[in-house]
């Protein structure tokens, strides 16, 4: 009887240990942080206003409607009519402002009334824009650290990382699409400045030294032209390395013990390169 009691205790202890071990094994393994660098000129900066995105909801093409499902929250109450209402409010505001600038509204009382109406309409515009903004996905998997000309920011991927806080660039759709494909934390490092070329501003060392054309050779600032070649390449590298110094700051899911992968690089696009002699011969 005594041996049986000891045996039962051993079985209970074994089952307890087994359950603990199984619990440990069941925990999902942490994945490396996947880092993607986005770089380029104005089209990478991004000048698409997010208020235009709800128009996707009325598209006939199924792939476009799928894109709408990707960028909006599942419980979002949004429609094209909401955007049209915002546009109508803006038009009323702009029409009154136009009349005020053209001095078509005269008299202190009428001017004050018009200015008050503009202020009221602006408040309505702000509220309606915020209502639209609140319908967009804020990713928990994808984070971004972005330089888009003067608009700089870091945080979970959502709208507002384009040319200003009301705009988007390629990063929004790119990051959300990656999240569907990768089972890992994702960090986008975006460095973009409008009006720049790959041939001169973003020129990589592998392309060799920049060669001044005939006009540049005779310019008074020829030395500065040579000095500033690859400037945005250097700025891009500086920005990327600053992020790599403290990845935990830029993505909460980063684990230094697991590490990271430099998973990809995207350049978009080369409009300004069409004007260089070197481009035509490449």
Listed as ranges, residues in the chain with pLDDT below 70 are 1-28, 282
Contact 114, 206 (CB under 8 A): no
Residue labelled with tokens 């009301």: 166
- 194 belongs to a structural domain: yes
- 78 belongs to a structural domain: no
Question: What are the residues whose beta carbons fall under 8 Å from the beta carbon of 45, sequence distance 6 or more?
Answer: 148, 149, 162, 163, 169, 192, 193, 194
- 172 belongs to a structural domain: yes
- 148 belongs to a structural domain: yes
Contact 184, 34 (CB under 8 A): yes
pLDDT of residue 21: 46
Number of domains in the chain: 1
Cis before 269 (ω within 30): yes
- 100 belongs to a structural domain: no
d(Cα 90, Cα 128) in Å, to the nearest integer?
10
3-state secondary structure of 152: strand
Among 132, 180, 172, residue whose Cα is nearest residue 155: 172
Residue labelled with tokens 């001017």: 111
Q: Domain of 252? A: 33-50+137-280
pLDDT of residue 17: 45
pTM for the model stands at 0.84
pLDDT of residue 88: 97
Element (H, E) at 175: helix 170-181
- 257 belongs to a structural domain: yes
pLDDT of residue 138: 97
Among 205, 255, 250, residue whose Cα is nearest residue 36: 250
């Amino acid at each position: 009887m005594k041996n049986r009691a000891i045996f039962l205790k051993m079985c209970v202890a074994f089952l307890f240990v087994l359950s603990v071990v199984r619990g440990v094994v069941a925990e999902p393994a942490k994945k490396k942080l996947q880092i993607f660098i986005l770089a380029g000129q104005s089209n990478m900066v991004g000048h698409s206003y997010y208020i235009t995105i709800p128009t996707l909801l009325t598209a006939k093409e199924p792939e476009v409607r799928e894109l709408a499902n990707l960028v909006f929250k599942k419980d979002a109450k949004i429609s094209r009519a909401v955007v049209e209402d915002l546009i109508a409010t803006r038009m009323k505001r702009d029409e009154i402002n136009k009349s005020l600038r053209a001095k078509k509204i005269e008299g202190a009382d009428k001017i004050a009334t018009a200015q008050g109406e503009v202020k009221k309409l602006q408040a309505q515009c702000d509220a309606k824009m915020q209502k639209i903004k609140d319908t967009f996905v804020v990713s928990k998997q994808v984070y971004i650290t972005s330089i888009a000309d003067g608009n700089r920011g870091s945080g979970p991927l959502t709208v507002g990382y384009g040319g200003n806080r009301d705009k988007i660039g390629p990063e929004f759709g790119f990051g959300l699409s990656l999240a569907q494909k990768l089972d890992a934390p994702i960090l986008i490092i975006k460095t973009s400045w409008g009006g720049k070329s790959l041939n001169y501003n973003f020129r990589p060392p592998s392309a060799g030294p920049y060669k001044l054309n005939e006009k540049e050779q005779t310019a008074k600032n020829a030395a500065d032209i040579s000095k500033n070649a690859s400037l945005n390449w250097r700025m891009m590298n500086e920005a990327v390395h600053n992020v790599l110094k403290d990845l935990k700051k830029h993505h909460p899911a980063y684990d230094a013990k697991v590490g990271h992968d430099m998973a990809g690089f995207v350049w978009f696009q080369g409009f300004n390169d069409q004007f260089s002699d070197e481009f035509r011969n490449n």
